[in-house]
Amino acid sequence: MDDMKKILATLAALLLFAGCATVPEPAPKPKLVVFMVIDGFPYRQLVDYRDQLVPDGFRRFLDRGAWFSDAHYGHAFTVTAAGHATMLTGAYPHRTGIIGNDWRDIQTGEEVYCTGDTSATYIGNATKKLDGTSPKNLKAETVGDVLKRTNPRSKVIAMSGKDRGAILPGGKTGTSYMYMSQSGEFASTTFYMKEHPAWVNAFNAAKPADKYFGREWKPLLADSEYSKSLPDNQKWYTKGGSLPKTISVGMEKPGAPFYAALLPSPFADELTLDFARAAIAGESLGQDDSPDILSISLSSHDYVNHAYSAESRLSHDHILQVDRLFQVFFQDLDRMIGKDNYVLVLTADHGFMPAPERSLELGRPAGKQSGSGAIKNVSDALGKQYGEGKYVLSLSAQGAILNKPLLAEKKLDFNTVAEAVRTELLKEPGIAVAYTRAELESGSRKGSAFFDAITKTWDRERSGDVQYSLKPYWMMTTSNATTHGSPYAYDTQVPIVFYGPKWVGAGRVDTRVEVVDIAPTLSRMLGIAVPGSSEGKPLPLPAPAR
């Protein structure tokens, strides 16, 4: 028996030794995570133009990094704020509380902006009532919040052309800067600090936006190279739908109109990346053993796509322009941080639907749904049944808010009226599905069309009483040529790509994944706990070469 024990012990030791010999040492934590977002960047645009990309821009991810061919958002109302809140919390809007870019208070009817906070103001710039100044409305913590709690020496710096693109990924404890379209500066707010650090003041003092005055946005390639996109000047484009274009045309000197006009152009992206370089140097990011996070959200693509669609030559060329900007920026990161010291991640906050006019040309059922018309039609129909009155106060983040004082006055049952509102909404030409508050709270319609995605969009304290989604290729009437915000693949499917040879191998991954999976993946790399509200799971990244 003793001999048998010795034999077993020897075998166990050998197995343990063999196992240890085959398990590589874990990579050290990255010194810097560079988290990048292109606002309004559908996955299809990443792969459709692959043959026109430069070697070290997007192709750094496609050729030498990991990329996911079936990555999606899981919530139904795919808009900028909801996406940016999801990325680094790993949580859907029903947990982040960021149900849209804005919404109506369901009790008072007052407008709420996703990052609005009247107790904070922009530093050195005018602040309006509904401007975005803090993460007050964000209910969930981010990867950066956990990192700073774990290691107070770590820094989290976020920036964007839009306030919501900076503030929401930056979380509660990061520091966010946003482009000021009145001054051409980048500014933070009094939520974060009393005054800007010296490096920000120096950046703004140089008036970097002014260098684009008189610059022309020229297409990078010959006209024949844009066969995959629509020609310029489609009838349904908004004004200025052709290249080349000079941003400052008709202006005498740089000023608020010029600074605002920079946003729908590659120049605003270049300016944001310049500010990122200044932040790396000014904050000494990635220079010690305390990991840092730099979040960069480029906003211009969203503006371009709203005006002309993702199918336009302007959008096509804009992606090629960003590709060239990335190549220079990534090579600067190699020099400033060190090739093996950082991880790059790129995603988008939503995709984009084709313009309804384009869909109609292709024979698809498509159209524009009037929101105000829907409210009137619902109230008119219910008025015949219950008496005259405005039964829907407003539409808010794809939800209808019922007029509760009117229901109380008429002594009407809330759930009965909600059912009636749903019935009438479904008569509208562009509305596909609608679910009541009672159904969303109880989960009673689980398995029904888009119910799961709508549930993930819906917050019982902030969302409407009847939540709906539009039919494919339909949009709510706006001044834009096209938009986003649906649960369909053209809006939900976005790039998720990683680069960092120490931590990530190279290759395409076809497993379906979601944007909520980014947060637990980065948490694992950084050796920290997953954010408390996270609903994702670590991505199946290819193993790094050893």
Angle at 156 between CA 515 and CA 206, to 5 degrees: 115
The DSSP letter of residue 51 is G
**Averaged pLDDT, 356-360:** 97
What is the rounded average pLDDT of the residues 308-329?
98
Domains of the chain with bracketed CATH:
32-99+110-355+489-526 (3.40.720.10), 367-471 (3.30.1360.150)
Identify the CA nearest to 476 among candidates 112, 94, 74, 79.
79
**Percent over 90 (pLDDT), the chain:** 93
Q: Average pLDDT, whole number, for the chain?
A: 95
Spatial distance between the Cα atoms of 297 and 293, rounded to a whole number of angstroms: 13
How far is the first Cα of the chain from the last one, in angstroms, to the nearest whole number? 43
Task: Specify whether the CB–CB gap between 72 and 514 falls below 8 A.
Answer: yes
Tokens of 44: 């299809």
Mean pLDDT, to the nearest integer, of 311-332? 98
Cβ atoms of residues 505 and 543 within 8 Å: yes
487-544 tens-digit pLDDT: 999 999 999 999 999 999 999 999 999 999 999 999 999 999 999 999 999 999 999 9
Q: What residues contact 136, with CB distance under 8 A and at least 6 apart?
A: 115, 116, 117, 119, 191
Which letter does DSSP use for residue 492 in this model?
H
List the structure tokens of 347. 């995603």
Break the chain down into helix, strand, coil percent, rounded to 5.
40, 15, 45
Indicate if the pLDDT at residue 191 is higher than 70: yes
| 398 to 202, 385, 405, 477: CA distances (angstroms) | 43, 25, 21, 13
Write the pLDDT tens digit of every residue in 461-487.
999 999 999 999 999 988 899 999 999
> How are beta strands 156-160 and 175-179 bridged, if at all?
parallel
At residue 25, the pLDDT reads 58
Q: Write the CB contacts of 21 (distance below 8 Å, at least 6 apart in sequence).
A: none
pLDDT for 149-183, tens place per residue? 999 999 999 999 999 999 999 999 999 999 999 99
pLDDT in the model for residue 407: 97
Strands 102-104 and 111-113: antiparallel
Contact 327, 54 (CB under 8 A): yes
pLDDT confidence of residue 21: 41
**For 265-292, what is each residue's pLDDT tens digit?**
999 999 999 999 999 999 999 999 999 9
Q: To which residue do tokens 């482009």 refer?
A: 179
pLDDT grade for 3, boundaries at 50, 70 and 90: low
Rounded CA separation 299/272 (Å): 9
User: What are the strands, taking DSSP E only, across 377-450?
Assistant: 392-395, 399-402, 431-436
* Position 40, amino acid: G
Q: Is 524 left (phi over 0), alpha (psi -120 to 50) or beta?
A: alpha
Closest CA to 462 of 486, 440, 490, 495: 440
170 HSE (CA, 13 A, CB side): 28
Q: 57 and 47 in contact (C-beta within 8 Å)?
A: no
What is the predicted pLDDT for the residue at 478?
87
The pLDDT score that the predictor gives to residue 545 is: 87
DSSP category for residue 529: P
pLDDT tens by residue, 121-145: 999 999 999 999 999 999 999 999 9
pLDDT at 26: 63
Q: 326: helix, coil or strand?
A: helix
Specify the pTM: 0.94
Find tokens 């709203």 and name the residue: 306
Position 18 scores a pLDDT of 46
Coil, strand or helix at 66: strand
Q: Is the pLDDT of residue 16 over 50?
A: no
What's the rounded Cα separation, in Å, for the pair 394 and 396? 6
